[in-house]
Structure 1
Amino acid sequence: MFSLIRGNLLKGWLFLANLSMQKKLIVIFVFLISMPITYVTYLSARSTLQSVLENATNNAVQMTANASNTLDSYVADLKRYTVLPLYNKEVQYYLEQKGTNWDKNVSIGMFLSYLNHTKEEISAVYLVDKFGSVFYDKNTTITELYPYEQLAQWNSLIRNNGAAPIITGRHTIRANSNGSKEVFTVLRTVKSASTLKDIGIIAFDTDIKIFKQTFEPVNQVTGGSSMIVDSQGKILFANNDKGGFDPTKQSSLLLKQAKLDQGSFQSEIGGQEYLTVYKVSQETGWIMLHSIPLNHILSSFEQNRSALILTTLIILAFALLVATIISYALTRPLKSMVRLMKQVQRGNLGVSLTPKYNDEIGLLGHQFNRMITRIKDLLEEVSITEKRKQKADMRALQNQINPHFIYNTLESIRMLAESNDDPRVAELTYLLGLQMRYSISRSEEAVTIAEELEHVTNYFQLLQIRFPGKFELELDIPDAFLELPVLKLVFQPIVENAVFHGLEKKSGPGLLTITAWSRDDNAMFLIKDNGVGMSQDKLLALNNNLQSAEPGENFGIGLRNVNERLCLHYGYSYGLQVESELGVGTSVTLQIKGPTLCETEDNTK
């Protein structure tokens, strides 16, 4: 997974890197502008959505609570009305009298009529005496009631509940000859004020239209639907919203999520999202639920969001236009410079750029003009150098005539010395001829360490003839170094410098040793003599002369020549290092590439 993401990021980066500078600037500008705008737009939309949902939830909770409180107050009033028979002496008296008469009917009738007219939604008020006779007063819309059909249920509820008021759920009563009415009932046992014994039952049948009257304003404001469920899960009231949502079919799902006394939750019903708020009545134990379609709540938010998205797109389009203009203005000088470079590539050096501004691109333009001028100067210098080199080559070819002439002359002298039986002159002439042949016969620049040491040995033989017993040469070179390639005439100038500036001035015989070792894949050579040495001031001047750009006059010319050739061939980390002590001797350290590096280079080639 990580490798896949890394690969996609790499592909995206390569795609961006291969775009033109103008397109890169456009992409960067649009990205830098669109990211914060999009993020701010997202945060604003999310904050607005949360605010809308929170306000809608709070409003729905408040309205549902108010409706629930209204209904609780209504039921509480009915409960208080059920206590009134306890305080009416005539009612108390007649409830204990068996049978009926005019006075009993009138007295109880007036009492029931008063109770029936206390609230408009009361359909009927019933009073049952101690002997099971039922008296009632009904709403004017009802012509006939059948109270004895409910008497058995009332008696059963009272036996199981005692003296506390009882609220029945929604049920149907028969009214008139062929009609019915949906009501809920509040009833209570009537106690004797003197003996506290049961002397009757009082009951209120209340039209369920009170539920609709209570929750209709909430539904109109929120556009949702309401439902009232009793403690047994039976639906007392429900109305459908305009979208056809039937809460009675989803009551079990809604009740499972209503776990507290009051709250709210969101749910999906029939493929549509709903916000449901609920409250459990402390008076009745009923659960009031109110469900609102989220699309109704978010309709204003959707409009605002569309406007916000449109505004964001307009800003992004404007940003794209500005980015295009700015990127074109920034890259136009670069494109002009590229066109001029192509002309320079074709050989036209008569071009120049005229920067308009002093920014980085303007500075680049000035540097471009300076580069063209410098190229012209370099081409002229190269032309002059080539002409000088041709002249130098001619002079070198001419100068080769003299060494050849001298070598041939030496060979004639050697033959004459042999014919005259003079072996020293013949040997001296022979060795000198070998020295000159080594210098002029090898056209290639590199030789082996073995060849260089052979040249040094021949040179020392010349010195032995001239100064018998004066000098001694010791070579301690491992075999691995003998085939190491090196520049021609590296050791001989160093040896010659040691002989004539160190050993010759020493009283008595002198010793010169050449040793070799490896260090960090480099070959190290030490040419050491036990001559007169030099002072520290002279040693410092010699080393400075080796490192300086301009040579000193007649001072270390041979060593400087070797050092410069080594640095030019191998690099400036290589070359010579001289150490000396007055009266002790001088040592010269020579560093070149070792066997390992040379073998690697050869294999590469």
Structure 2
Amino acid sequence: MKPGKRTAAIWDSFTYWWGRRSLQSRLIAAYIFIILGPCLMVSVFSYRAINNTYIRNAVDKNNNLLQMEKLYINTQVESMAAAAQVAYNDPEVRDYLANTTEPDLGELVKFNTEVFINMTRIQYINPNIEHLRLYSKSNIHEIWPIFFRENRVSSEPWYQKAKEIKGEESWSFMRNDPDPMMRYVEQTPKLAPKVSLLLEMSRPTNNHIGMIQVDMLLERFTPKTYSNLQNSQSQMFLVDAEMQLFTRSNDSFLQDNRDMAHAIAERLQLYRKSGEWDIQYSENGKSFLLINTPIDRVDAFLVNVVSMDGVIKEISRTRNLIIGANVGFIFLVTVIAYVLNAFILKNLRRLTEAMKKVRRGEAYNGITIRGGGEVGELAHHFSKLMNTINTLVAQAVQKQVLSKEAELRTLHNQIDTHFLYNTLENIKMLAEIENQQAISDALTSLGGMMRYNFKWSSEYVKLRDEIRHIENYIEVMNIRFEHPIKLVIHVEMCYLELEVLKMSLQPIVENSVKHAWTGVEEELEDRIIQIDISETEGDIYVSICDNGMGIEPQTLSALGEAIYSKIRLSSELNGPRGGVVRAGGIGLRNVCQRLQLFYGDEYGLKLESEIGIGTTVSMILPKVLLTGDKQS
């Protein structure tokens, strides 16, 4: 089986299994899933934030310690430079170092009691200075432990380096403190790392006469680097220009991490070239932070190595607390959701059982569920549905009975209508025999009206049929009037096949016939009803106009409200034609409501009228052929 089909099969199996679970089980699973996602996101975000906070705090804390130590080192550098400068600026010191002849005893005593004492006082003033030594190029009389001949140290690399830079400060870091007096030739020099400031003396310029050396032990120069306090979380390193590392020997990170010294040297070399520094370092499964700061004057770096063991333990403890809190929270929510769902879904199970009984054909006696909510609403609608079903069943039975009765009535009506049509035809023939052509025409129109009214096979008819019915109606009604009504029809042939509701135009025309000329002077003989058809944006407008007396604005407004109202027309409308409104409004309202019922609320009637000019009723309906196709 291909991987895609296998995945689809597994998914189908899961969905089938999931679909068979109870609603309560699925709701609880959904609660857990909904809560688990945000909890995981919040936990991950919180863990990362806490992790970054711990690391940032560790970096800030140890960087502050580093800056404080750097400040102390700079103070020591200034004190060493000040001591060297005092010796450098003393003219008697310069004269003594530049002297090429052996001084007499008086000069030596004077020099010893004045200049030498002053040089010794420099160390007393700053006890951190380990040595103040002055070297002379000539074979002067040495006064230990300050004045020496240069040949004692001239072969040392640090001494040659100081001579090459010609009077500028030269700083050298050494792992031991050699004795220029060579009093302990057979003994190994004491392991006492120190820093030396060397300053060449020339007289005149470029004429080397000697060297000033100021020494300070590193344990005094940078006490935190050589601190005896046990601190297993961090360790400071002093790294010189030759990438030599100076630090404490006890409890050192270098004992268990052999590659750390090399890694620090490499990163400092890269930092010198590009300014890039990688603060993270790992070795033997342990993580460290490497924080550095340069000490520019002595061309060295101070590096603080911070062990992350303690930080990682704190982070792990916090992570475990977060996981435990999430598990406890999810468990608590699950228990609460289970209890609440069992209580909430109890009514749903009752409703389900009632539905199963109805499905099995058992009689439905109703179900009572207290409280509201969706389950109560569902039970209410289920009861309504069952009542509706029972009512529909009863109506279906009643309809079957009425259908049979309607068939019998239809046969009876057919007999009656045929009798009426035959009787009208006989009277029409008698009228023609008696040469009463007006009576014959009226009977013809009346017969057409009766056939149109009795033949109700559909709600829809062609427009041509509805207009023909109106023509018959006007011809019949003109028998009553001394001044006949003239029907004017302006309808294009393309509109005669349109679909209209049967008996929709006749009530409007009847309304005009009955009320348009009520109260008009007898001499008004030209009474006209005009039917026009227009089309706008796919809708048909059938306008029925009369040249009657018109309707007052207040009465017209009341009539419009009555036509579009959903209640029965009020019997009290103000105005002199209140009775007219009551008589005509009901027929117009019925037509309007039929149009909206069959075509939609956007269709209906529109009334316009002006006093002394006439009234226009516009019927708005969609352009639809009798076949039912809407035309575009």
Give distance in 2, aligned partners of 1:95 and 1:46.
Answer: 68
Aligned to 1:482: 496
Contact 2:136 2:149 in 1 (8 A): no
Answering whether residue 345 of structure 2 is matched by residue 317 of structure 1, we say no
After superposition, the Cα gap between the structure-2 partners of 1:81 and 1:486, relative to the gap in structure 1 and judged at 3 Å, is: same
Give distance in 2, aligned partners of 1:537 and 1:121.
Answer: 117
Q: Which amino acid aligns with 1:229?
A: D
Give distance in 2, aligned partners of 1:380 and 1:159.
Answer: 119
Aligned to 2:448: 434
Answering whether residue 465 of structure 2 is matched by residue 443 of structure 1, we say no
After superposition, the Cα gap between the structure-2 partners of 1:67 and 1:479, relative to the gap in structure 1 and judged at 3 Å, is: same
* 1:585-600 alignment runs, 5 A limit: 585-595=614-624
| Candidates 75, 99, 102, aligned match of 1:97 | 102
Aligned to 1:340: 351
Aligned to 1:292: 305
Secondary structure of 1:483's aligned partner: coil
Give distance in 2, aligned partners of 1:592 and 1:155.
Answer: 115
1:546-582 deviation digits (Å, cap 9, x = unpaired)? 4352367883354444334323222344333445566
Give distance in 1, aligned partners of 2:554 and 2:200.
Answer: 133
Q: List gaps (5 residues or longer) in structure 2.
A: 1-14, 572-581
Aligned to 1:62: 68
Give distance in 2, aligned partners of 1:34 and 1:152.
Answer: 69
TM-score by length of 1: 0.69
TM-superposed CA distance for 1:316, in Å, is: 1.7
| Candidates 498, 501, 506, aligned match of 1:492 | 506
Contact 1:340 1:351 in 2 (8 A): no
Aligned to 1:523: 540
Aligned to 2:312: 302
| Candidates 492, 510, 513, aligned match of 2:530 | 513
* 1:330-479 alignment runs, 5 A limit: 331=341, 333=344, 336-337=347-348, 340=351, 343-344=354-355, 349-355=364-370, 362-372=372-382, 374-375=384-385, 378=388, 382=392, 394=405, 397=410, 398-399=412-413, 401-415=415-429, 417=431, 423-463=437-477, 470-479=484-493
| Candidates 266, 276, 279, aligned match of 1:267 | 279
Give distance in 1, aligned partners of 2:552 and 2:202.
Answer: 139
Q: List gaps (5 residues or longer) in structure 1.
A: 1-14, 139-144, 357-361
Contact 1:579 1:586 in 2 (8 A): yes
After alignment, is 510-519 or 216-225 more displaced? Answer: 216-225
TM-score by length of 2: 0.67
After superposition, the Cα gap between the structure-2 partners of 1:552 and 1:410, relative to the gap in structure 1 and judged at 3 Å, is: farther
Give distance in 2, aligned partners of 1:497 and 1:57.
Answer: 101
TM-superposed CA distance for 1:136, in Å, is: 6.8
Give distance in 1, aligned partners of 2:55 and 2:262.
Answer: 29
Q: Which amino acid aligns with 2:330?
A: L
Give distance in 2, aligned partners of 1:45 and 1:322.
Answer: 28
Give distance in 2, aligned partners of 1:375 and 1:161.
Answer: 107
Q: Which amino acid aligns with 1:289?
A: L
1:399-457 deviation digits (Å, cap 9, x = unpaired)? 55433331232234345555666554444333322222222235122111111112222
1:455-479 deviation digits (Å, cap 9, x = unpaired)? 2223333345666872211001233
TM-superposed CA distance for 1:51, in Å, is: 1.6
1:32-65 deviation digits (Å, cap 9, x = unpaired)? 6665565455444433332222112212333455
After alignment, is 362-371 or 198-207 more displaced? Answer: 198-207
Give distance in 2, aligned partners of 1:214 and 1:544.
Answer: 99
Contact 2:592 2:604 in 1 (8 A): yes
Aligned length, in residue pairs: 553
Q: Which amino acid aligns with 2:544?
A: I
After superposition, the Cα gap between the structure-2 partners of 1:509 and 1:379, relative to the gap in structure 1 and judged at 3 Å, is: farther
Give distance in 1, aligned partners of 2:499 and 2:540.
Answer: 11
Contact 1:502 1:533 in 2 (8 A): yes
Answering whether residue 580 of structure 2 is matched by residue 566 of structure 1, we say no
Contact 2:499 2:625 in 1 (8 A): no
After alignment, is 503-512 or 518-527 more displaced? Answer: 503-512
| Candidates 48, 55, 66, aligned match of 1:49 | 55
| Candidates 567, 572, 577, aligned match of 1:549 | 567
After superposition, the Cα gap between the structure-2 partners of 1:442 and 1:559, relative to the gap in structure 1 and judged at 3 Å, is: same
After superposition, the Cα gap between the structure-2 partners of 1:147 and 1:31, relative to the gap in structure 1 and judged at 3 Å, is: same
After alignment, is 249-258 or 383-392 more displaced? Answer: 383-392
Secondary structure of 2:225's aligned partner: helix
After superposition, the Cα gap between the structure-2 partners of 1:581 and 1:205, relative to the gap in structure 1 and judged at 3 Å, is: closer
Aligned to 2:5: none
After superposition, the Cα gap between the structure-2 partners of 1:199 and 1:95, relative to the gap in structure 1 and judged at 3 Å, is: farther
| Candidates 198, 202, 224, aligned match of 2:235 | 224
After superposition, the Cα gap between the structure-2 partners of 1:132 and 1:451, relative to the gap in structure 1 and judged at 3 Å, is: same
Contact 1:211 1:237 in 2 (8 A): no
TM-superposed CA distance for 1:483, in Å, is: 1.7
Give distance in 2, aligned partners of 1:537 and 1:189.
Answer: 121
Secondary structure of 1:512's aligned partner: strand
1:97-146 deviation digits (Å, cap 9, x = unpaired)? 2899xx99xx99xx99x98x9999979978668437878779xxxxxx99
Contact 2:235 2:304 in 1 (8 A): yes
After superposition, the Cα gap between the structure-2 partners of 1:35 and 1:574, relative to the gap in structure 1 and judged at 3 Å, is: same
